[in-house]
Amino acid sequence: MKFEINFEYMPEYVLIQTEGEASARGFDELLTKLVDSPEWVTGTDQIVDHRKLFGGHLTPNDVFKIKNIVKNHSKKLGNGCAAFVVRGDFEHGKVRMYELIGGVSFHFKVRICYSIHKAVEWLKQEKKFSREASGNHIKPINLAHS
């Protein structure tokens, strides 16, 4: 499993892009790199682009393992919002499985989207009042890569 972590949109959110075959080990490596990065701030919102990730082989037990990996990193992750971007209904179902077995308990709010644009818009809505109060606004993503 390959991944790229983009801190360019901090402090509003971190963009994480995954690809290849999903694995518990890959998620552990991703989260370790994320939370151990000097750029990471606990509680930062995340947009996780899984459109190039293949997880058809993941069993409910594998998803449970991934949930436990997130739990192990939860203190450093904080409770920011997480928007998961998927390519279709099958992948949507895998993320819903993650939510249903308790994954949502590690994020302030979770949303499943089919485009990065929708994920950014959702974060804008979720943070609208707090961002306006502080004078900060979410920076748009360059959609040429989406």
Q: Which domains does the chain have, with CATH numbers?
A: 2-145 (3.30.750.24)
Cβ atoms of residues 39 and 6 within 8 Å: no
Other Cβ atoms within 10 Å of 49 Cβ, number: 26
Mean pLDDT confidence for 81-98: 81
Query: Among 58, 53, 51, which residue's Cα sits nearest to residue 94?
Result: 58
What pLDDT is attached to residue 140? 54
Structure confidence at residue 60 as a pLDDT band (50, 70, 90): confident
What pLDDT is attached to residue 27? 94
Structure confidence at residue 46 as a pLDDT band (50, 70, 90): very high
The dihedral built from the CA positions of residue 131, 49, 93 and 71, taken in this order, carries a sign that is negative
CA 72 to each of CA 24, 42, 75, 100, 106: distance values in angstroms, whole numbers, following the listed order: 12, 14, 8, 18, 10
CA–CA gap between residue 101 and residue 18 (Å, rounded) = 22
**pTM to 2 decimals?**
0.81
CA–CA gap between residue 9 and residue 7 (Å, rounded) = 6
- Which of 30-39, 52-61, 130-139 bottoms out in mean pLDDT, i.e. has the lowest? 130-139
20, pLDDT greater than 80 = yes
Give the highest mean pLDDT range of 45-49, 55-59, 63-67, 106-110.
45-49
